[in-house]
Structure 1
Amino acid sequence: METYMTNPEQYDELSEILKALSHPVRLCIVRGLLANGACNVSDMQNCLKAPQSTISQHISKLKACGIIKGEKRGLEIYYSVTNKKAAELINVLFD
């Protein structure tokens, strides 16, 4: 039998990514960022038809998990996907 537990930390990281992506809104945010490039909350709000406060909560969770990052441009913050494993998962799920 093969042993898969060569690096237990790897499972922790992947588990956290999967938890973060398990909500439909967060999944949609990450997929949209990958498809369209960097976006601000207003762009996401128009696309998702969800309140800004809801989107901001989901963005906070994605940032805390290291899946996305924000870059300030003037008065706006534009978010983009920075986690390669999360991007790969989205591409597999929606291929």
Structure 2
Amino acid sequence: MNKDLTKYNEVAEILKAIAHPVRLCIVNGLLEKGKCNVSYMQECLDTPQSTISQHLQKLRSAGIIKGNRNGLEVYYTISNESVAKLIRELVENM
């Protein structure tokens, strides 16, 4: 057995970050669309902008997404291919 739990801790943190229906929806939406801004997500999820921003912060902190500024807008994309594969697999088998 691997006594170095660092790797498992990292995976657990990623799983915690995506273990919320809104965050799963955000990640899946980014996979489908490629990139989105907060306004688009707000319309799709019918959720307040502040709530979306809080979820985006958790996903950014976990290294799952990244934001790129374009003028006044920030467009988010998936930055972790392992998470992208995991979500694709989960959604396809639902």
When normalised by structure 1's length, the TM-score is 0.91
1:49 matched to 2:42? The reply is no
| Alpha-carbon separation, structure 2, partners of 1:73 and 1:20 | 26
What pairs with 1:70-85 in structure 2 (closer than 5 Å)?
70-85=67-82
Unmatched tracts of structure 2, length 5 or more: none
Stretches of 4+ aligned residues off by more than 6 angstroms = none
Q: Quick one: structure 1 residues 7 and 94, their matched pair in 2 at CA, closer, same or farther if it must change by over 3 Å?
A: farther
Unmatched tracts of structure 1, length 5 or more: none
| Alpha-carbon separation, structure 2, partners of 1:7 and 1:23 | 28
Partner secondary structure for residue 80 of structure 1: strand
Equivalenced residue count is: 92
| Alpha-carbon separation, structure 2, partners of 1:90 and 1:6 | 28
| Alpha-carbon separation, structure 1, partners of 2:90 and 2:17 | 15
Partner secondary structure for residue 87 of structure 2: helix
Partner secondary structure for residue 13 of structure 2: helix
| Alpha-carbon separation, structure 1, partners of 2:32 and 2:57 | 20
- The residue that corresponds to 2:20 in the other structure is 23
Shift of 1:12: 1.4
When normalised by structure 2's length, the TM-score is 0.92
- The percentage of counterpart residues that share the same residue type is 57
Shift of 1:85: 1.4
